[in-house]
Amino acid sequence: MKTIAKIVLLASLISLVQSCSIVRQDEVGVKRRLGRIRSGVYSSGVRLINPFFTRIIKLPVRTVNLEVNVDLPSKEGLTINTEISILYHIIPEKTIDILKEAGIKYETTLILPVFRSAVADVSARFFAKDMHSSKRAEIEQAVKEQMIMLLEKRGFVIESVLMKTVKLPTGLTRAVEDKLEAEQESQRMEFVLSKERMEAERLKIQAEGIKEYNRIISQDLTPLLLQFMSIEAFKDLSQSSNSKVIITDGKTPLLLNPEK
């Protein structure tokens, strides 16, 4: 009897465990009974179900990172290999509609086809080199907007479309690198020329200042001023303790060659 009781208890525990479905905090659950989706979306917690007829389908409502490797056409007809991340999440209130219209494999049946169509349409408007330039953000935004237009009403919020890697054909990669190097060299030379122009302007202003200074000084050097300056010079020399020989004509402190 004890053995039978243990078996019954064990069977009851197994049945209880199978009758419980746990919905985590980053998920929502939808009940499917006998193959039909029932109304009502369950938030996180433990849910009791009939394991023989009912199943709780759980979908993530957190941000999902869907990574896709895709070959993109460019405006000039090249094929560019890229790795792109699609960041999206489900609108909880739309969970039942998503399951009814796209099923549990909604990424494969809905999100990826929309993405591949949008990204091919957008990339065909741009040159391959644009995917390595500041226009990459413009491409990402255009793809995101097209996906939002088609998927938001279906219950998906597209947060971002990010081009993680872009692999250009070998020859084009070298050409793009050469172009970037040339642009950088051109910017460097422009900086050097600008600096030289500023230096030339500075020297010009300095020369004009010296010229104006000399003009003013030459106007102010009258005979009386020169005589006064000579007297001051004689005075300074007379107060010096050093031995000195002064040759003068009586007008200037030092006159080695008065004729010149």
30 and 41 in contact (C-beta within 8 Å)? yes
168 and 176 in contact (C-beta within 8 Å)? yes
158 and 152 in contact (C-beta within 8 Å)? yes
What does the alpha-carbon distance between residue 72 and residue 37 come to, in Å, rounded to a whole number?
Answer: 38
114 and 108 in contact (C-beta within 8 Å)? no
Query: How is residue 167 written in tokens?
Result: 């692999």
- pLDDT confidence of residue 152: 92
Helix, strand, or coil (residue 246) = coil
Q: Are β-strands 64-73 and 27-33 bridged in parallel, bridged antiparallel, or unpaired? A: unpaired
- pLDDT confidence of residue 119: 94
- pLDDT confidence of residue 53: 60
Phi then psi for residue 214, to 5 deg, are -65, -40
Kindly indicate whether the domain formed by 64-173 is annotated with CATH number 3.30.479.30. yes
- Tell me the pLDDT tens digit for each residue of 153-176: 999 999 999 998 888 766 665 666
The closest alpha carbon to 103, from 155, 146, 48, belongs to: 155
Which residue do the tokens 């290999």 mark? Answer: 81
117 and 151 in contact (C-beta within 8 Å)? no
The closest alpha carbon to 118, from 161, 153, 170, belongs to: 161
pTM above 0.85, yes or no: no
Residue 72 buriedness (CB in 10 A; 0-12 / 13-18 / 19+): buried
Extents of the domains making up the chain:
14-60, 64-173, 209-260
Q: How far is CA 188 from the centre of its chain?
A: 23
CB count within 10 Å of CB 160 equals 13
- pLDDT confidence of residue 117: 94
Query: Within the chain, where are the H helices?
Result: 2-18, 95-101, 106, 112-123, 136-151, 170-220, 223-238
Residues of the chain with pLDDT under 70: 1-23, 33-35, 37, 42-54, 169-178, 180, 213-214, 216-231, 233-260
Helix, strand, or coil (residue 27) = strand
**Greatest extent of the chain over all pairs of C-alpha atoms, in Å:** 147
Q: List residues bridging with 58 in a β-sheet.
A: 29
